[in-house]
Every structure is written in structure tokens, then in C-alpha cells.
Amino acid sequence: MESLLIKGGVPLRGEVRISGAKNAVLPIMAAALLTEDPCVIHRVPKLSDVRFMGQILARLGAEVHFEGDTVRIHARRIKGAGDYELVRKMRGSICVLGPLLARLKKASVSLPGGCVIGARPINLHLKGLEALGAKVTIKGGYVDVAAKRLIGSAMFLGGRAGPTVLGTANVMMAATLAQGVTVIESAACEPEVVDLAAFLNAMGARITGAGSPTVTIAGVRQLHGAEHEVIPDRIEAATYAIAGAATGGEVTLRGARPDHMRAVLDKLSDAGAKIERNDSDLTIRRAGPLKAVDITTLPYAGFPTDVQAQMMALMALTPGISIITERIFESRFMHVSELARLGADIEIEGPSAIVKGGRLLTGAPVMASDLRASAALVIAGLAARGATQVNRVYHIDRGYENIDGKLRRLGARIKRIEAS
């Protein structure tokens, strides 16, 4: 099993090109199942999750070809049953459910896996599909959905922690081929949902309101092939921005989308980072000492839960007390104990982490528990004195394309090793 070995204490300096968004490309790849025609998707990141999605689509009968950062998908003939061993590895794979139901009027997909960060039920996905007329059965670890026909409907998809991103995507895809008009209230507003809607509209769908809490889909008889470029990954961009601030360096993000990152950039600015914007490029540097800030994760356009762990690593380095409150996932503080191994002083009180920052971090072996926890440990290791070994690197490969290579180009002393 591979690990990342980091010798910290080097300020990051230079430029990094931001890859396509993982959370956008997975449902967009699944949406190619909605048509018999070929689809071409550009700026596809080289990630294990993307590779798994390609394998899932291939098992469903689609032809999938990767060429550099482009994937070509031709789902001329497909079947409606997903592979358990593949689907269970990745939560994002559940987004094949809506397209299969729309195209074949039936689907059988394993309950999904992914990061262990608390309960992430798919009940809102199923509620939306049932509102379209599907019958849902859960048996033996599989979700079976079937409908003689899908009928547009009005529905509310708000949940305990707010809207569901993948649930909105799943219902939106299914509704493109339903009869009549579907209205999703309390829809997720994330840029990744907007990007999926843009791809579906390029295929001939009729979707309005994406990016707002009310999305309207007028069903069409069929969709055709399309070509699309995926948006930049706002979480990857935020991670490198925070790493630059944490190490006291200066990092330029090439091809980012500042308009997708306002909450993160606002908190970084409050924390004392200097941010310069030039079209799609962002430069982040430390202009002076960092300042503690409080953070609460919220649905978009609030502070993203996927950046909570990285900001906690930064606050652990920052003198003062900061309170980080997690409102999306109840078990997303598993990185706290590993940050403590590096010397961080953090206490958990209910949904909040009390970070007493400013202590010197020193390198140690640490264990990644999930994708974003991995990124937090890498950031802490980059700023720590001595050597840090981040184990279970397969987590970080799910969402960061060539992270060790990109960090080396910024001057980091980091290499991939085979863990003993």
C-alpha cells in the first residue's frame, strides 16, 4: 500500500493547474447513459473514482475510451444492473440510477460506498424517483427501481442537512425523459449541478433554474450526443490555496473559478492571506501572521464541508482559538486525532471542533480516514517540522489528480513510497 512521505517546512511557491471537478465529472459521465449517441467529455481528471466510473459504465454495456483528459462514451446498448464490487467502492456511482431508470425504465444498483464520514442515505434520491412514478425495492444490498413510464411531478428534496447534490442530479437526469414537467424544490445549488444541467441541455434536455433552489425540467422524447468541458475543481483549488497559506508561500492557481470559491476565499482573507484575482487565475500568499477564524459548513454557497478538514489544518497553525462547526456530516472529524499526532490541540464538543492554534507541528506517521482528511494531513505535513508519512494514500487519489507531482512543482519535498 502506498504512502506519501513529506519533509515539511518549505514554503510552496509557483503555479498549479486546476483539474476538472471530480464531483461534476462523475454524474456527467453517468448522464451519457441517457442516449444511444456518442458523448465526448473534456477536462476529465485522472482519478481512481473516474476510473471506477468508467469501469461501471463499461460493465453496463457502454463503450468507454480515455484519451488524455478526454473520455468518449458510447452507450449504444446498455443493461440495467450495476456491478456490486465496483459500485460499493464509490458513493458517486449511485448517480447511474436515474439515467438507467430513464433509459430502460428499470435499474438495479448496489447501495454505494465511499468515504466513512457519517450517514449519507439515499432516501431523497428514492423519494424523487418515486415521485416520478418509479417503484423502489431495497433487497440484498441492492436498490431496484422500475416504472412503466415516468411522469413529471413537483417534489421537495430538502433533507436534514439541506439539499442533496447527488439526489438532485439523479432526479434531474431521470426527469429529462419523463412525460411532462418536473419541478424540484430545495434543489442543490452547487456549481457541479449547474455543470450537469449544461451537459444535459447540450444533449437536448430542457432544464431551467439550475443553480437556484427551484429546478424545472420539461421532459423530452429522447436525448442526443454532446461534447462538454467540465468545470474546474473548486475543492482542489481551495486545497492548494490553503496549502500555500499554511506554508507561508505564494501559490498561483491556473484555470480556477473564483466565483465558485467565494466562501473559502472570504475565510482565507479573514485569516490574513493576501488574494489576487486575474480572470480565472488566483494568487494566494501570506502577507503577515495568520488570524484565527470561525467556520460553519453549510450547503452551497456556504463554506463547503469538503474544505473543512483543510481549514482545520490551517487553524491548527494559527495563533488563537477558532471554532469549526460541521453541519453537513456528523462524523467528519476523524482527522482530528491524526492532526493531534502532529501536535495540534483540538477538542471536539458536539458538532464543533475547538482549535487552539499556534503550536509547532512536528512530523509523525498518520493515517488518512477519508479523501479530505488526507488533504488536511498533507497540508499539516507540509507545514510541520520533520518528516510526516501519510498512510492510506488511496483515499487522496480518489479526488486529487497527481497531488504529489503538483506539490513537487511548487517546491514541496514529497514523494510516494511503498508503505511497509
Closest by CA position to 335, among listed 359, 364, 312: 312
d(CA 216, CA 223): 17
Strand order in the sheet with 135-139: 106-110, 142-146, 135-139
Active site residues: 115
Query: Rounded CA gap, 107 and 144, in Å?
Result: 6
Q: Count CB neighbours of 287 within 10 A.
A: 10
**Pairwise CA distance, residues 313 & 318, whole Å:** 9
Q: Which residue has the cell 433533507?
A: 159
Half-sphere exposure of 267 (CA within 13 A, CB side): 25
Within 10 angstroms of residue 387's Cβ, the number of other Cβ atoms is 15
Do 86 and 59 contact (CB within 8 A), yes or no? yes
Do residues 73 and 53 lie in contact, with contact meaning Cβ atoms separated by under 8 Å?
A: no
Between the alpha carbon of residue 129 and those of residues 175, 176, 212, 375, the distances in Å are 9, 12, 20, 35
Count of C-beta atoms within a 10 Å radius of residue 122: 21
Distance, CA of 200 to CA of 188 (rounded, Å): 16
Q: Rounded to the nearest 5°, which phi and psi values hold at 281?
A: -105, 145
Instruction: Please give the grid coordinates belonging to residue 368.
Output: 488518512
- The sheet carrying 181-185 orders its strands as 154-156, 181-185, 214-218, 206-208
Amino acid at 316: A
Q: Quick one: which of 373, 325, 327 has its CA closest to 352?
A: 325
Q: Determine the Cα–Cα distance for residues 93 and 56; give it in Å rounded to an integer.
A: 8
Cell numbers of 312, please? 482545520
CB atoms within 10 A of CB 101: 28
R_g over Cα of the chain: 21
